[in-house]
Structure 1
Amino acid sequence: MSSEISIGDEIKDGFKETFKWVQNNLKWLSELEAFYRERAKLEKEYSGKLAHLTSEYFGKKSAFTVMLSVGDTPTTTPGSLEAASLVAWNEILSQTEKMSQDHNQLAQEFEFQVGDQLVALSRKCELLASTINGSNNALVEKRDKAYSGLEKAKKLYDEKCTQMESARAKQTKSSSDRTQRKADDREHEMNIAKNQYLVKINQANRIKDKYYFQDVPEVLDLLQDLNESRTRSLKTIWATASSVEREMCKRIEARLSTADSVVAQNKPSLDSTMFVKHNLKDWKEPADFQYVPSSVWHDDEQFSVSSGAELQDLRVRLAKAQQTYDQMHGFATSELEDLSSLNKQRQGVRAQENANGEQALALLSKYARSLTSYTSHESSKLEALVEIESIQNNVPEEHDLSTDGIDLDKLGKKSGVFNRFKKSLTISSDKKSVAEDTGDMSSAISSESKGRQSHHGLSFLRGRSRAKTNDSSFSANTGGDANNSVEQTDSTKNAVLYDYQKQDDDEASVSVGDGFSVLTLDTGSGWTKIRNESTGETGLVPSTYIEVREKPRTNAPRAPPPRKSAASRTVQAIYGYEAEEEGELSIQTGDSINVLRDDDGSGWTFGEVRGVKGLFPTSYCK
Structure 2
Amino acid sequence: MSGPPPPVVFGDELKDAFKPVNAWVANGIAWLDDIQAFYRERAAIEKEYAGKLNSLSKRFYDKKSKKSASLTVGDTPQLTPGSLESASLTTWTTILNTTEQLASEHDTFSTALSLQVADVLKSLATRYDDYRKRYESLSTKLLEERDKVYGDLKKAKSNYDLGCKGVEEKRQKVDKSFDASKAKAQKSYQNELTEMSNVKNTYLLQLAATNRHKQRYYNEDLPEIINSLQDLNETRVAKVNGLWTLSSTLETTCHQNAISHLNLQISEIARNLPVLDSGMFLKHNVAPWTEPPSFVFEASPIWHDNPDMVVDEQAQVYLRNMLQKSRRGMDGLKGEVERRGKEIQQLSERWNSIKMDESQAQKEVDVVRSLVYSQEEILPHAANLLTWQVEIEVIVNAVGDIARGTQSHNFKSTTFKIPTNCDLCGERMWGLTSKGFTCTDCGYSCHSKCEMKAPANCPGVLDKAGKKALREERKQLSVANGGGSEIDLLGSGGLTRTNTTASTTSTLAPRGVNAMGTRMTKSPSISGASIASNASSTNATPPPTVSTSAAIVAAPPPRRVLAPPPDRYIASPALEDSRPSTPASTVHTDSATETGKVLYAFAASGENELQVSEGTVVSILDDDGSWMTVRRPDGQEGLVPTSYVEKIASTPRVSKRGPPPPVKPRGAKKEKKVRALYAYEPQGEDEVPMGAGEEFVVVERDVGGWVRVRVVGGGEGLVPGTYVEDV
Q: Normalised by the size of structure 2, how large is the TM-score? A: 0.46
Q: Answer whether contact 2:337 2:378 (CA < 8 A) is retained.
A: yes
Identical residues among aligned pairs (%): 32
Equivalent of residue 341 in structure 1, options 337, 346, 360: 346
Deviation, 1:389, is 0.9
Q: Does 1:319 align with 2:324?
A: yes
**Which amino acid in 1 is paired with 2:346?**
S
Look up the match of 2:264: 258
SS in 1 for 2:312: coil
Q: Does 1:391 align with 2:395?
A: yes
The 1:401/1:294 distance shift into structure 2, 3 A limit, reads: farther
Q: Answer whether contact 1:228 1:268 (CA < 8 A) is retained.
A: yes
Q: Does 1:199 align with 2:205?
A: yes
Deviation readout 1:304-350 (Å, 9 max, x if unpaired): 13342x22222222222112212321111112222333455567689
Look up the match of 1:295: 301
Q: Answer whether contact 1:131 1:368 (CA < 8 A) is retained.
A: yes
Give distance in 2, aligned partners of 1:317 and 1:286. Answer: 29
Give distance in 2, aligned partners of 1:109 and 1:44. Answer: 11
Q: Does 1:216 align with 2:222?
A: yes
RMSD between aligned residues: 3.5
Deviation, 1:194, is 0.4
Which stretch shows the higher mean deviation, 242-251 or 294-303?
Answer: 242-251
Structure 1 unmatched runs, 5+: 48-101, 418-622
The 1:132/1:236 distance shift into structure 2, 3 A limit, reads: same
Look up the match of 1:6: 9
Look up the match of 2:274: 268
Q: Answer whether contact 2:165 2:302 (CA < 8 A) is retained.
A: yes
Give distance in 2, aligned partners of 1:345 and 1:4. Answer: 22
Deviation, 1:148, is 0.9
Equivalent of residue 383 in structure 2, options 353, 375, 379: 379
Equivalent of residue 108 in structure 1, options 106, 111, 130: 111
Q: Does 1:135 align with 2:138?
A: yes
**Which amino acid in 1 is paired with 2:251?**
E
**Which amino acid in 2 is paired with 1:219?**
I
Q: Answer whether contact 2:167 2:193 (CA < 8 A) is retained.
A: yes
The 1:255/1:366 distance shift into structure 2, 3 A limit, reads: farther
SS in 2 for 1:303: coil
Give distance in 2, aligned partners of 1:22 and 1:116. Answer: 21
Q: Answer whether contact 1:34 1:115 (CA < 8 A) is retained.
A: yes
Deviation, 1:394, is 1.4
The 1:364/1:274 distance shift into structure 2, 3 A limit, reads: farther
Which stretch shows the higher mean deviation, 176-185 or 164-173?
Answer: 176-185
Equivalent of residue 374 in structure 2, options 366, 370, 376: 370
Which stretch shows the higher mean deviation, 325-334 or 240-249?
Answer: 240-249
Q: Does 1:36 align with 2:39?
A: yes
Look up the match of 1:120: 123
Deviation readout 1:457-506 (Å, 9 max, x if unpaired): xxxxxxxxxxxxxxxxxxxxxxxxxxxxxxxxxxxxxxxxxxxxxxxxxx
The 1:19/1:273 distance shift into structure 2, 3 A limit, reads: same
The 1:129/1:201 distance shift into structure 2, 3 A limit, reads: same
Deviation, 1:218, is 0.4
**Which amino acid in 1 is paired with 2:116?**
Q
Deviation readout 1:504-529 (Å, 9 max, x if unpaired): xxxxxxxxxxxxxxxxxxxxxxxxxx
Deviation readout 1:239-275 (Å, 9 max, x if unpaired): 2222332333323333222222222222222211221
Give distance in 1, aligned partners of 2:311 and 2:228. Answer: 46
Give distance in 2, aligned partners of 1:115 and 1:381. Answer: 48
**Which amino acid in 2 is paired with 1:252?**
A
Pairing of 1:181-196 with structure 2 (within 5 A): 181-196=187-202
Give distance in 1, aligned partners of 2:342 and 2:212. Answer: 24
Q: Answer whether contact 2:354 2:360 (CA < 8 A) is retained.
A: no
**Which amino acid in 1 is paired with 2:391?**
E
Equivalent of residue 236 in structure 1, options 218, 237, 242: 242
Deviation, 1:365, is 4.6
**Which amino acid in 1 is paired with 2:395?**
I
Look up the match of 1:24: 27
SS in 2 for 1:409: strand
Look up the match of 1:306: 312
Q: Answer whether contact 1:6 1:221 (CA < 8 A) is retained.
A: yes
The 1:272/1:147 distance shift into structure 2, 3 A limit, reads: same
Which stretch shows the higher mean deviation, 121-130 or 377-386?
Answer: 377-386
Look up the match of 1:493: none
Q: Normalised by the size of structure 1, how large is the TM-score? A: 0.53
Equivalent of residue 178 in structure 1, options 169, 184, 197: 184
Give distance in 2, aligned partners of 1:142 and 1:249. Answer: 58
Q: Does 1:278 align with 2:284?
A: yes
Pairing of 1:39-78 with structure 2 (within 5 A): 39-44=42-47, 46=49
Structure 2 unmatched runs, 5+: 51-104, 415-434, 441-727
Q: Answer whether contact 1:229 1:361 (CA < 8 A) is retained.
A: no
Give distance in 2, aligned partners of 1:233 and 1:413. Answer: 61
The 1:343/1:126 distance shift into structure 2, 3 A limit, reads: closer
Between structure 1 and structure 2, the one with the greater Rg is 2
**Which amino acid in 2 is paired with 1:296?**
I
Q: Answer whether contact 1:139 1:376 (CA < 8 A) is retained.
A: no
Look up the match of 1:79: none
Look up the match of 2:166: 163
Give distance in 1, aligned partners of 2:240 and 2:340. Answer: 32
Q: Answer whether contact 1:110 1:241 (CA < 8 A) is retained.
A: yes
The 1:317/1:215 distance shift into structure 2, 3 A limit, reads: same
The 1:408/1:25 distance shift into structure 2, 3 A limit, reads: farther
Look up the match of 2:410: 407
Give distance in 2, aligned partners of 1:316 and 1:178. Answer: 29
Deviation, 1:155, is 0.5
Count of residues in correspondence between the two structures: 362
Give distance in 1, aligned partners of 2:275 and 2:310. Answer: 54
Give distance in 2, aligned partners of 1:5 and 1:362. Answer: 28
SS in 1 for 2:412: coil
Give distance in 2, aligned partners of 1:400 and 1:116. Answer: 65
**Which amino acid in 1 is paired with 2:340?**
E
Give distance in 2, aligned partners of 1:337 and 1:3. Answer: 30
Deviation, 1:119, is 0.9
Pairing of 1:515-526 with structure 2 (within 5 A): none
Deviation readout 1:165-186 (Å, 9 max, x if unpaired): 1111112222523322221121
**Which amino acid in 1 is paired with 2:281?**
F
Pairing of 1:445-484 with structure 2 (within 5 A): none
The 1:368/1:138 distance shift into structure 2, 3 A limit, reads: same
